[in-house]
Structure 1
Amino acid sequence: MADSELRQRKQPDAAEAPKPAKKKSSKSKVEDEDAYSPWLDVLRVISFLFVASCALSYWISNGESFFWGMRNKPNYLRVDWWKAQWQGPIYLTPEQLAAYDGKDPSKPVYVAINGTIFDVSLGRHIYGPGGSYNYFAGCDAARAFVTGCFAEDRTPDMRGVEDMFLPLDDPETDAQWTTAEMKEMKEMELIRAQRQVHDALKHWVNFFGNSKKYHKVGYVKREKNWLEKQPRRELCAPAQQGRSKRKPRHSKEEK
């Protein structure tokens, strides 16, 4: 009976026989080792140190700063800068702009020049109440930036500012030229004076526009033909006093 059972026992199928495990080639092992990069671990360590540094700075400064009390943070580290980039430029009327003169500590401090508004909140001690440049806060004082008359010229009206760069007429000196020569010379003097006004204004626009502390937030919105409705201003006294007489003809020829 044992022989019968032995004959009837089914032979194992070749397909069911266990297969020997394949050994990885040396090439596969090298590829697996190359797939690992230590830079990922380095990035993890740097990220952890950065977060830990921010948390420690916030704790030590009692919630004042995440970046170790930096007074003038780069723009990309400032929430207000990112907010301005996200929201786009703002448009304020002169009346609305006046509310950002620094008197309200909950609002930023704005300075406008030639129609462009800049956020100067990081210089609140300068442009805010009691600051030496508080005259410029909450308004477009383009004229004052050129004339230097802070209190008198808090206006964007630039008409007549070129006069401060023009020589004073003097009958005795001017008699050295003919009428035609004098006319041509005055035309050239006016062109040079207008260029000086343009360059002076451009200097201050670039100063605020390229500053690491301040940034542009928008533009002043004015009513149509607003300038024609304003009375023409006289040149302020300090700017007028800075003018000199036209040089005599012989002094120019000597040069």
Structure 2
Amino acid sequence: MNRFTFFDALRIFGGILLLNCLCSYWFTSSTTWNYDGKYLNIKYFMNLFQSRINLTMEELSKYNGSNSKLPIYLAINGSVFDVSSSPEIYGPGKSYNKLTGKDCARIFVTGCFMKPDEYTYDLRGLDEKEVEADLPAWIEYFQQHRKYWYVGTVQHDDSSLPRYPPSPCEHLKFPGMNVH
């Protein structure tokens, strides 16, 4: 009596997967059809099963790359992302290190990297339409990025905000690329 068992199905699936990898390697010199996304990174799947963090602003400030034993976190409008996989960008002394260890939602809207008071989550005084267009786009960028993971949230303490929002600056969405 010949029956089709679970192991037969598993053997067929394994054979198809092996054939797919061989064809991919033949045509692209890569077993994954040159795909290099987050679904091939084991850290992504480990992150899916970890509990989400909930930090205060003070706790978040510890995750700025100055302690090599801690991950590097970047926050946008309350959403915290682990950007530790790019220390050449977000590590101490690197170009975007000033964005780590704090919620810099405002700077993702204005692009005013040269004004220290812009490194805040304070969105008062900004055009609402601009905020509604820019912040979700940046959050999606970090959520979809193959190297960065959403890890949780940061709680804002609005009582610690200055009385007045930062003074207006000339918006530079893409610093170094604006033509005047």
TM-score (norm 1): 0.51
Structure 1 residue aligned with 2:89:
126
Equivalent pairs: percent with the same residue? 34
SS at 1:99 equivalent: coil
Q: Residues 74 and 80 of structure 2 are in contact (CA less than 8 Å); yes or no, is this contact kept in structure 1?
A: yes
How many angstroms apart in 1 are the aligned matches of 2:39 and 2:14? Answer: 26
How many angstroms apart in 1 are the aligned matches of 2:91 and 2:55? Answer: 19
The Cα shift of 1:210 comes to: 1.7
Matches within 5 A, 1:209-220: 209-220=143-154
Structure 2 residue aligned with 1:93:
56
Structure 2 residue aligned with 1:115:
78
1:156 to 2:121 alignment: yes
How many angstroms apart in 1 are the aligned matches of 2:91 and 2:102? Answer: 12
Q: Residue deviations 1:210-231, cap 9 Å, x none?
A: 22211110000234xx157532
How many angstroms apart in 1 are the aligned matches of 2:78 and 2:160? Answer: 16
Q: Residue deviations 1:199-218, cap 9 Å, x none?
A: 01121111112222111100
Q: What residue identity is the alignment partner of 1:210?
A: Q
Matches within 5 A, 1:1-255: 31-32=1-2, 74-75=38-39, 77-79=41-43, 81-151=44-114, 152=116, 153-162=118-127, 194-223=128-157, 226=158, 229-239=161-171
The Cα shift of 1:129 comes to: 1.3
How many angstroms apart in 1 are the aligned matches of 2:37 and 2:62? Answer: 25
Q: Residue deviations 1:137-167, cap 9 Å, x none?
A: 11100001111122421100000122xxxxx
Q: Residue deviations 1:37-57, cap 9 Å, x none?
A: 76665677899xxxxxxxxxx
**Bigger Rg, which one:** 1
Query: Structure 1 pair 97/45, CA: closer, same or farther in 2 (3 Å)?
Result: same
Q: What residue identity is the alignment partner of 1:206?
A: E
Q: Residues 161 and 235 of structure 1 are in contact (CA less than 8 Å); yes or no, is this contact kept in structure 2?
A: no
How many angstroms apart in 1 are the aligned matches of 2:121 and 2:91? Answer: 20
Structure 1 moving runs of 4+ over 6 Å: 42-47
Q: Residues 38 and 145 of structure 2 are in contact (CA less than 8 Å); yes or no, is this contact kept in structure 1?
A: no
Q: Residues 136 and 150 of structure 1 are in contact (CA less than 8 Å); yes or no, is this contact kept in structure 2?
A: no
SS at 1:121 equivalent: coil
SS at 1:207 equivalent: helix
Query: Structure 1 pair 115/35, CA: closer, same or farther in 2 (3 Å)?
Result: closer
- Larger helix fraction of residues: 1
Query: Structure 1 pair 45/93, CA: closer, same or farther in 2 (3 Å)?
Result: same
TM-score (norm 2): 0.70
CA-atom RMSD in angstroms? 3.1
Query: Structure 1 pair 84/235, CA: closer, same or farther in 2 (3 Å)?
Result: same
Counting matched residue pairs gives 153
